[in-house]
Structures are given as structure tokens and as C-alpha cells.
Structure 1
């Protein structure tokens, strides 16, 4: 019996010693992995900066079919947040800082472990070197697991698979597109709410998403019914300075009055004739759609109206589907109205031929007697004088 007690006591002492050993082990880790992907830096940054794309390339999300992800209202840029639960555990992710087209800093919690993950983007001759750098702390359970496997190797393997997924996803989703010229159409009148501002080409997508969200919230708070897909009016399109003056618009059923001084304006888009072009694919191919439409104008001797550059309607976008290759953008280019010339009416001159009457008829004809008429003199109307107004 004493032997059993001694063995049990030895087991307890060993367990305590092991616990102390594990607890005193270094709980910090740092892992870094890089890969060159076949996409431009701005494209890769924009794709990674959208949290809704995270589930399509990050290996933990891709490989977990039971993963349930919840997103914050804002899913792009600083402050965007998501949380998840799946067969591998639970966690959350938040973008805490970023530098446009350069890096994204995320805070990740996974099964009680926390880490700061810095994602860095660098140009490499038309491609992009993407680096994932994680620095974090393990909880007690994770420290136990490190007795059996190398955590740096495990996280590194996750990063490698994630970067491979990112490259494949971007290569297909971003580079798959189609541009179709639909021809001349009639764009119908529409009422809308909008915010107008000037933006660099590179920031239009991000700024538009922010304003779309703001106007949609305004509509929900004021019970304003949305009537169609969001659109952007490009009032100017300056290819030299790479900037545009735009109106980010949400269509509504009826016009409303908004008090002066508000950032959000209410306006009406009058109906107009336009050349319609449909782009299926990522928004980065918009420039190809503009070029193809310009060629169509020249080929058909059409003139662009100067009222604005063009209008983009986002029929299928990020809110409907997460795959850029399936997005649909309808672009309208206003046509200059044709001038119709009316030909002046021509007066027809007719020549009558005088036929001489028979002599006998002229002899027998009695002279015409002019009847006497009595004219009644009508007094001239009196000219009214204008009476000066008292006002």
C-alpha cells in the first residue's frame, strides 16, 4: 500500500515539476514567411485589405468547411473586424493599422493565443513580394503542445499555404474579365442621394465603399427606400493628374428635401442617351473598358456629351459575391444630342396660260356696274394709359 502511495506522490511531484517547467518556458514566438505572387502591389493590397476575402485565401479558413465567420459592418481598412468558430477552434481578427499599398497590421486571437501579424507588400518587377510576419504569445495549453511539435514550423506551414492560396486566388479572380459594348441605350431618369468629392484614382474604390455605407445607413435611419444598385458619376476624369471629381450615389424611389449644410445631397439624374459598356471582372479592368468604348466612339463617329465623363452602376459587386471575376459593372457614356436641321419650305410658282375669249362673247358682254357701298365710320380705340403701381 505504501508503494502505491509513494508512486502516486511521485506522480504528483512529477506533474508539478512538469507544470513549473512548462510555465517557465519561453511563451513567445516569431515566424516570418514570404512569397512572390503574380499580381501588382496595389491589387494584392486591396484584396488583402478586404476582410471578406480572408476566408478565400487564409488556410485555416479555406480548409475548415464548418467555419462560421461574422463580420463587422466595416470590413475594409483600420478598425474592420471579424470573428469565427470552426472545427479547429475559435478566434477573431482586427486590422489595427495600415499604410496604403504598403502594409497591414492585424491583431489575431486564436484558441487563447494572441499575435500581431504584419503583412508587407513590395514591388518586384510587376509582381509583388508578400511577407507574413507573426509575433505573439502562447497560452499554457499551447506550451504543452510545443513539447511534441515545433510551433514555428506549424505557423510557418500555415503561412506558406495561405500565401499560395492568395497567389492562386488573385491570379484567377483578378485576371479573369470580359468587356462587352452593348451599344446605344436610353438611361432612364433616377432620383438619388449622393456625396460629391475629388479623389485620386487609386483611392476611389476605398472612398466609394465608405460613402456607400454612410448613405445606406442614412437611408435606414430615415426610412428612405433604396431603389436599385449603387452608382458613381464621374464628373471629370483627369488622366494626367490621375484624379476625378465624383458623386457616390444611392438611388431612391422619390426625391426628398435635405437641409442645407449636409454632406449628403438629394438630386435627380435626367434621362439621357448613352453608349453602354458592361465589364465583368475586377474593377482594375475599368481602364480597359474605357479604352474599348473610346474606340467604339471613334469607329461610329459618336460624340461624348460634356455634362459628365461617365457613370458606373455596380450591378453585382462585393456585397453580392466575393469573387471579383463574377462582378458586373455597367458603364454609361452620355451621347451628345444630335442637331436636326429643317429644310426651308419652297414656294411653288405656277404659270397660268391666258386663253383669249371669243370675240362675240366680248361684244355681247355688258359693262359691269360697280355697286355703291356705304362705309360705316368706326371710332378709333382709345389707348389705355398704364396706371402706376403702388408697389
Structure 2
């Protein structure tokens, strides 16, 4: 066998192996990639919120098959006889840029799409580009509603507070606070205990996998306040916290976007943070005004290990 034939046979074998991998092993039919200036956790939450809206607007039912906070989500989507898989890889690039790779697979027409999508502007390809473009636009619009400044390492102040303990999923923290605001402020008013500062939220446990939090909703009061025993409203010192700080400007409903930014910053700079957060709300949303001027100071403590 001549050298030329050996080369041809070698390339033919490699091409056949490539075809087998591409048509039968490769997990996605088509891939869309883009970059945004957002924290990985913000994008992770955005994907889930977008999926919920797709159910309302497009009757598409999304089920999470696998996830890894905050850089990976694999979903199955069903609508009538359509069955798709979406694999979202969220890749942190630097302090302001994250890359999103979306792998898409049509479980009913996978081989056809793999053959046609690279070369032709098929209906499948057009639909997926439109869908991911809509997601990107929605995410970009959301990012205009808040600003985050990383302030670096710092400490909080010790503060004496009245508080109530609450639990919620991460996305409903603000709603939970609002629902219980009258409970704690009414108790303080009834017992003539004066509030002397803006409220805090002390997150005592943040379960990243379940996306739930245990937190104390706190109001500063004079440390010499006469303690009134109660089953719900308690009193204590918020201790000094040493950690990584940020300033968040925007609606308190999405202040967790600053948490995600701090986590990305810590990961890049090899800093270890606890799954706890202290937020100090310096603006009163009940006064209205421009949300981008509502200021919140946030600190996530360093781990003691």
C-alpha cells in the first residue's frame, strides 16, 4: 500500500469517527454563545425566571434535569409534541463579563438538525436564535435596573436590634419582609420602642442548592431599650462582621444580585466566603423615588477556616 493510500485511509477513518461522534454522541444539535456584563448568579436566576415566563407566554414547560450553582443548568422543555433539551454553561470571564454557551437539542429531530443547522437557515435554527436573542434582551433590560459597586474588604458595625426570624426562597425575600413589616413595626410602636435607624437583613443560612434562606428582619433600637418578652419579636446585638463588601443601588427585591457579584469577585481573588449575608437598607422604598438611587450596603463574611 502506497503512502498516499495510507494517508487517504487514515483521513477517511478519522472522518468516519468524527461523523459517528457528531451525529450520535454529540449532545447538542446547535450552540449559541454570547457575553454579558453580569454575575454568574444573576444569569443563573435569570434563566429560571425566563423559563417560568416561557410557560406563561409560550406554553413551554421547563424541567430542570441537572444544575450546578451558579454555572450550569440542563433543562428539558415540552410543548405539545415538541421536546427539547437546553444546556446552559455560564462561564465567568472577569469582574464584569460572563460568557453564556447554550447547547440546544431537539429530541425528535436531532440528526436532521445536526446535518442542516451548520449550513442552512432552517426553521429550527431561526427559532432557537430568536428565543435566545429574546432571553438576552430580557436579561440586558433587567441589568439596567440596578448598579453594583464592589467596595473590597471591610467590617460592619455592631448594632442592637429588634428582629423577627423568617424563611423564604431567595427570590421572595423582599415579599416576605413586606408581608411581615407591619408585624414588627406594629409591635415596636405598641410598646413605645423607637426605631433609630434603617433596617437590616441578617441571612443566617443560605442554601445554594435549594435556593432558600433563613434570615432575621431587623430594626435598630436603643441598646438600653427595656426588653418586652414576645414569642415572635426578639432582641439582640448584630455582631461586627468582617468580610467582602458591596454597595447595591436598585430595588430591594433584587439585592441578591450584589451577593452574586461578591461571590464571583471572591472566586477570582481566592477569598473564602460563608453562606451568610448582612444587608443594611439605607433608603425607604415607601417614599418612592428613583430605584437606582435606593442604596443598600452588603457584606458577606469571610469563612473562619
Residue 265, structure 1, aligned to residue 198, structure 2: no
More helix by share: 2
How many angstroms apart in 2 are the aligned matches of 1:255 and 1:336? Answer: 32
How many angstroms apart in 1 are the aligned matches of 2:293 and 2:255? Answer: 14
1:229-258 Cα distance to aligned partner (Å, 9 max, x none):
111111111232221111111111215454
Pairs within 5 Å for 1:364-379: none
Residue number in structure 2 paired with 1:216: 185
- Give the secondary structure class of the aligned counterpart of 2:231: coil
Q: Which runs of 5+ in 1 are unaligned?
A: 1-39, 44-100, 103-120, 127-170, 339-391
The normalised TM-score by structure 1 is 0.40
Residue 328, structure 1, aligned to residue 299, structure 2: no
Pick one of 302, 306, 318 that aligns with 2:285: 318
User: Could you tell me how far 1:196 is from its partner in structure 2?
Assistant: 0.5
CA contact (8 A) 2:279 2:296 kept: yes
1:250-284 Cα distance to aligned partner (Å, 9 max, x none):
11121545455521000101112121111112345
Pick one of 201, 213, 218 that aligns with 1:244: 213
- Give the secondary structure class of the aligned counterpart of 1:236: strand
How many angstroms apart in 2 are the aligned matches of 1:287 and 1:124? Answer: 26
Pairs within 5 Å for 1:68-87: none
Pick one of 272, 280, 289 that aligns with 1:303: 272
Q: Evaluate the alpha carbon distance shift between residue 335 and residue 255 of structure 1 in structure 2; reply closer, same or farther with a 3 A threshold.
A: farther
Higher RCO by CA contacts (8 Å cutoff, separation 6 or greater): 2
- Residue range with higher mean Cα deviation, 291-300 or 225-234: 291-300
CA contact (8 A) 1:255 1:266 kept: no
User: Could you tell me how far 1:228 is from its partner in structure 2?
Assistant: 1.4
Q: Evaluate the alpha carbon distance shift between residue 201 and residue 125 of structure 1 in structure 2; reply closer, same or farther with a 3 A threshold.
A: farther
User: Could you tell me how far 1:317 is from its partner in structure 2?
Assistant: 4.0
User: Could you tell me how far 1:285 is from its partner in structure 2?
Assistant: 3.9
CA contact (8 A) 1:321 1:327 kept: no
User: Could you tell me how far 1:181 is from its partner in structure 2?
Assistant: 0.4
Q: Evaluate the alpha carbon distance shift between residue 261 and residue 219 of structure 1 in structure 2; reply closer, same or farther with a 3 A threshold.
A: closer
CA contact (8 A) 1:174 1:324 kept: no
CA contact (8 A) 1:227 1:251 kept: yes
Residue number in structure 2 paired with 1:227: 196
Q: How many residues align?
A: 181
- Give the secondary structure class of the aligned counterpart of 1:211: helix
Pairs within 5 Å for 1:47-58: none
- Give the secondary structure class of the aligned counterpart of 2:264: helix
CA contact (8 A) 2:245 2:299 kept: yes
Structure number with greater Rg is 1
